[in-house]
Structure 1
């Protein structure tokens, strides 16, 4: 996973946290739910990137 991807995914996660916090503060359940969904999406992307990294590490280890 490239550094740019990591930063983008983390940024999306943080934006989701902020959106959720604003939803909590303003008693807006729709905004709160959107924030939670944004966080879940960012975490899923991060997990997918970790799987790709692990597969590449295994492939590199077998090639030695």
Structure 2
């Protein structure tokens, strides 16, 4: 899943949380928070993966930016 999909999932979660809060639907509000948390964890995983790739590239001399 790419960054755009994760951001989309995070946005949907925020919308769910907002609607749940506005309507007094605690289940929907909680689901929205859960969706946001999942998206944030996925985004963090992508950042770790990218950072690990950068470390590997710097150690092996593989620099894709040059």
Report TM bin, short chain: over 0.9
Moved over 6 A (4+): none
Pairing partner for 1:36 from 33, 43, 49? 33
Unaligned runs of 5+ in 2: 62-66
Q: CA RMSD in A?
A: 0.9
Q: Which has the higher helix share?
A: 1
TM-score (norm 2): 0.90
Number of residue equivalences: 61
Unaligned runs of 5+ in 1: none
Structure (1 or 2) with the larger CA radius of gyration: 2
Encode CA deviations 1:10-31: one digit per residue, 9 max, x unaligned. Answer: 0000000000000001000000
Distance 1:45 1:6 in 2: 9
